[in-house]
Amino acid sequence: MEALGLWCEFSELSTADMQMTEQEAYARKETPAFKEDIRQGWILLSLASRGEEDALDKSAQRMYGCMADEEWPRIVAQRKAMLGKEYSVW
């Protein structure tokens, strides 16, 4: 139910408001991982606000080229490749 409350809060925002919120959040984040999370959140909200079916799968497809249930292993593999030995510290 908490997610529904969050969705209701975001659904009241216009697309321009959501874009500004995403841009501000994106500018404040320093790591690529957080920027990816914010970017996918923006894509997901944008698709859902337009009434797109399967918005979660479509956002995962746009970001990572896979379905949502395959997304996390790809994210982890990508981050391990980028960070190398530092991944265990991160």
Number of domains within the chain: 1
pLDDT for the residue numbered 57: 92
Instruction: Give CA–CA dist 28/58, Å, rounded.
Output: 26
pTM over 0.75: no
User: Domain containing 22: what range?
Assistant: 2-88
20 with 11: CB under 8 angstroms?
no
pLDDT, averaged in runs of 10, over the chain (90 residues):
43 58 63 79 91 91 90 89 83
Instruction: Give CA–CA dist 9/43, Å, rounded.
Output: 17
